[in-house]
Amino acid sequence: MLDELRIQNLGVIADATLPLDSGLTCITGETGAGKTMVVAGLGLLFGGRASRAPIGGEKTLVEGRLLIGDDSLELRERAIEAGAELDDGELLLSRTVSAEGRSKAWVGGRAAPVGVLGELGELTVSVHGQSDQMRLLQPSEQRAALDRFAGADHGKLLDAYRAVHTELGECSAELARLRTSAREMAREADMLRLGLEEITAVDPQEGEDAELAGEARRLENAETLRQAAVTAHTAITGDPSTGDGGATDSVSAAARALEHESAADAKVAEFAERLSEAATLLSEAAVDLSGYLEELDADPARLEEIYQRQAALKTLFRKYAEDLPGVLAWAENARKRLSELDVSDERVSELEARQDDLLQRAGDLATQLRASRKSAAERFSDAVSNELGGLAMPHAQVTASVEPRPAGKGGVDLVVDTAVSGATEDGADEVELLLRPHPGSRPAALHKGASGGELSRVMLAIEVVFAEIGGPPILVFDEVDAGVGGRAAVEIGRCLAKLARRYQVLVVTHLPQVAAFADRHLVVSKDTSGAVTVSGVRVVDDAERARELARMLAGMPDSHLGVAHAEELLAEAAKMKA
């Protein structure tokens, strides 16, 4: 239950606090006083968009105190999840909107996203205004109303159908994509295959380009390398043809000369050892140079092979990437892309089989959905017609018509009840509410056959029916009694009072017959000071309430006759409520 609502700087309301209570609360006031600002404030409090600039450029503030009972478990859990601390089931909500449109929200004293207020609002309040009446004229809204009435099992069936319908749409889109773009994908696949075949024919190996470059340099410089190696070898080992000794002989002789005197001085022994090691290293180098000279061969044939191999790799670099790692990466990516471009007959056949299966499943579920809707339509029609009987339309009859949608009118055609129907995500049915105001008339669609007053009562009857199957604990009606008067207005008041036995009902009304049924009566009054008009809200009881009803009845709150009429209306309403 919403225990209190405070509105600051919204529309013509500068600062007003609405003390609310369980049962039926009616909000009245002169035209332009700001009654609808109360509904706008509720909308802001529960996450709606701000559509009016604050008074004087100051920020708009809306605060509300909710009393959460033990039966509102989901609401309690969502509030706690948002970080709220509930004090004996009391939840404080707050929302501010700056003149620039920046918005902030608080839940239970803690900052929260505005979307959290919207989620709490869905669990808390259901708002109905004249715009809802206009929406009720739309076939989609009428179908949604019937689906809501049909119950939880119907809702699960609808969810199952929608899941299959979505899967069918994805499958059909993929199949269409394959069919329409098969030529382009086949062309791309051919190019990728040619590239892979060329790369596979060359068969490049990782690091091969560097190895080839090194080997080519050695072969290209074989003669100069040989001369350098021979010169170095001769310098180390000496020249046998002349008998000249090499570096090895000289170093060895030096080592031996020092070894003779090593006993006399430790440093000389150290020098001898170092020269002996140097002689050994020179000998090893000479052996390695001999082996190098034996292996060193100009081999023009091998050099030509290397040149050809390098040319083949450069061709790949020119076409696919600037280096060997890039070519190998291109080949890997091409293989992956080819797997995605599978336009084979097998893939198409697989998708066609899957599409046929999904069409069958969707058709079966749509058949079940139609049967469920028709069953619910009978109950819904009877229930709404019965409620209209208590709203001064005793002979009116509302019929929820469920008919197959013509083939070609939906996104896909399905076989439903052995016939082809156009289907959308909501099924293959056209749902329309028909109204027959009296036995002598023919049933007609609401947008054709219902007056404003009749439409108001039909919507209210539907809301009463919905109340029987559960919903948010707070119902708000914003001038839904437009176009109604006389006895019909009294019956609307009685109906709202009936709703208030199970729900907290807030009604913005201009009808005294409705306001007479209120358990709490709030009046929005305006005060003009210079060029600025502001409004306030006050609770009226007893004589003051009778004066307000007299004003609503005849515009004469001080007329003794008007007040007497108002008191009679209050007494009659009290009897009917009892």
pLDDT at 427 over 90: yes
Closest CA to 330 of 209, 191, 195: 195
pLDDT tens digits for range 71-112: 778 888 888 888 887 777 788 999 998 888 788 999 988 888
Mean pLDDT in residue range 523-531: 72
- Judge whether 384 lies within some domain: no
- Judge whether 255 lies within some domain: yes
d(CA 524, CA 507): 13
pLDDT at 530 over 60: no
- Judge whether 74 lies within some domain: yes
Mean pLDDT in residue range 535-558: 86
Q: Of 338, 362, 381, which one is at a domain's C-terminal end?
A: 338
- Judge whether 380 lies within some domain: no
Q: In which domain, by residue range, is 258 found?
A: 204-338
pLDDT at 243 over 70: no
pLDDT at 361 over 90: yes
- The SS3 of residue 374 is helix
Together in a domain, 121 and 236: no
pLDDT at 117 over 80: yes
- The SS3 of residue 445 is strand
pLDDT at 523 over 80: yes
Cα dihedral across residues 74, 465, 151, 447: positive or negative: negative
pLDDT at 345 over 70: no
Together in a domain, 14 and 122: yes
d(CA 105, CA 94): 6
Closest CA to 27 of 38, 17, 14, 13: 38
d(CA 397, CA 387): 10
pLDDT at 534 over 70: no
Number of structural domains the chain divides into: 2
Spatial neighbors of 144 by CB under 8 A, at least 6 apart, are none
Please tell me the predicted confidence (pLDDT) of residue 13: 83
Instruction: Report residue 267: phi and psi, to 5°.
Output: -70, -35
SS (H, E, C) 413-438: EEEECCEEEEEECCECEEEEEEEECC
- Judge whether 534 lies within some domain: yes
Residue 9 in contact with residue 58, Cβ under 8 Å? yes
Together in a domain, 89 and 208: no
Residue 208 in contact with residue 324, Cβ under 8 Å? yes
Instruction: Report residue 166: phi and psi, to 5°.
Output: -65, -45
Please tell me the predicted confidence (pLDDT) of residue 405: 94
d(CA 451, CA 170): 44
Q: Of 309, 338, 367, which one is at a domain's C-terminal end?
A: 338
Residue 446 in contact with residue 478, Cβ under 8 Å? no
Closest CA to 521 of 535, 541, 501, 536: 541
pLDDT at 192 over 60: yes
- Terminal Cα distance for the chain, rounded: 23
- Roughly what angle, to the nearest 10 degrees, separates helices 345-389 and 152-180? 150
d(CA 392, CA 380): 19
Amino acid identity of 192? Answer: L
Q: Which residue has the higher pLDDT, 218 or 91?
A: 91
d(CA 351, CA 174): 8
Closest CA to 455 of 503, 384, 552: 384
What number of other Cβ atoms are within 10 A of residue 149's Cβ? 21
Together in a domain, 224 and 304: yes
Q: Which residue has the higher pLDDT, 425 or 531?
A: 425
Query: What is the overall mean pLDDT for the chain?
Result: 85
Find the helix or strand (DSSP H, E) in which 103 lies: strand 103-107
Beta bridge partners of 416: 419
d(CA 408, CA 360): 17
Residue 92 in contact with residue 108, Cβ under 8 Å? yes
Closest CA to 93 of 58, 64, 50, 134: 64
- Judge whether 39 lies within some domain: yes
Please tell me the predicted confidence (pLDDT) of residue 440: 79
Q: Which residue has the higher pLDDT, 5 or 34?
A: 5
pLDDT tens digits for range 271-293: 888 888 888 888 888 888 877 77
d(CA 222, CA 230): 12
pLDDT tens digits for range 143-174: 988 998 999 999 999 999 999 999 999 999 98
d(CA 141, CA 462): 12
- Judge whether 154 lies within some domain: no
Q: Of 290, 314, 338, which one is at a domain's C-terminal end?
A: 338
pLDDT at 528 over 70: no
pLDDT tens digits for range 448-500: 767 777 887 888 888 888 877 777 888 888 877 777 778 888 888 888 998 88
Cβ burial of 509 (10 Å; 0-12, 13-18, 19+) is buried
- Judge whether 159 lies within some domain: no
- DSSP annotation of 18 reads E
Together in a domain, 231 and 116: no
Burial 414-444 (b: 16+ CB within 10 A, else e): bbbeeebbbbeebbbbbbbbbbbbeeeeeee
Spatial neighbors of 118 by CB under 8 A, at least 6 apart, are 46, 47, 48
Together in a domain, 124 and 212: no
CA 32 to chain centre: 39
Together in a domain, 116 and 213: no
Closest CA to 548 of 26, 188, 56: 26
In the block, residue with structure tokens 């609310």? 20
Domain containing residue 84: CATH number: 3.40.50.300
Q: Which residue has the higher pLDDT, 391 or 545?
A: 545
Residue 430 pLDDT level (bands cut at 50, 70, 90): very high
Spatial neighbors of 451 by CB under 8 A, at least 6 apart, are 483
pLDDT at 130 over 80: no
Spatial neighbors of 213 by CB under 8 A, at least 6 apart, are 310
d(CA 236, CA 463): 112
Q: Which residue has the higher pLDDT, 159 or 337?
A: 159
Spatial neighbors of 297 by CB under 8 A, at least 6 apart, are 222
Range with top average pLDDT, 17-26, 66-75, 232-241, 255-264: 17-26
Lowest mean pLDDT among 354-358, 547-551, 557-561: 557-561
pTM, two decimal places: 0.63
